[in-house]
Amino acid sequence: MEDFTQRYPQHSQIPVAWGEMDALQHVNNVVYFRYFESARIDFFNRHFPLGEMYKQGMGPVISENQARYKRPVTYPDTLLIGVKISDIGEDRFTMHYEAYSKAQRAITTTGSSVAVMYDFKKGTKAKLPQELLAVLKEYQE
């Protein structure tokens, strides 16, 4: 776990709920996208709260999600979801996730999301603000 937290100084701790398991007795595959979402929102709340930006009618929206399942997770467990950034462009960036199981002491799932800056008033893509770019570059792989 220490190796994981060193690789991912930005991570979120998420307890697995019994109700997240499916008929096959492991966490349902769709739940990981909620875990990734929680880690993504946690990242922004810690480093660049999006509330003001959304009030102004702009913000990042997810255009693509991906997950790779390496090991099944079951209740009870706690996952650490690490976040890193890559592929920073003029109007988009990619967030990468790794889920580390405390019970298994192993990476169970990896994933990524492409976020595109969007102007809700105009209904078009927008450029990433400089302040957000600075934060993203700080956590870039």
Whole-number pLDDT of residue 52: 87
Position 7 pLDDT exceeds 80:
yes
Q: What is the pLDDT of residues 68-125, one digit of tens each?
A: 999 999 999 999 999 999 999 999 999 999 999 999 999 999 999 999 999 999 999 9
Q: What is the pLDDT of residues 27-49, one digit of tens each?
A: 999 999 999 999 999 999 999 99
Collapsed DSSP state (helix, strand, coil) of residue 40? helix
Instruction: For strands 58-69 and 11-15, give the pairing.
Output: unpaired
Q: What is the CATH number of the domain that holds 74?
A: 3.10.129.10
Q: How far apart are CA 17 and CA 101, in angstroms?
A: 13
Total domains present in the chain: 1
Contact call for residues 102 and 46 (beta carbons, < 8 A): no
Contact call for residues 55 and 116 (beta carbons, < 8 A): no
Other C-beta atoms closer than 10 Å to the C-beta of 9 total 10
pLDDT-derived band at 140 (thresholds 50, 70, 90) equals very high
- Domain containing 32 equals 1-140
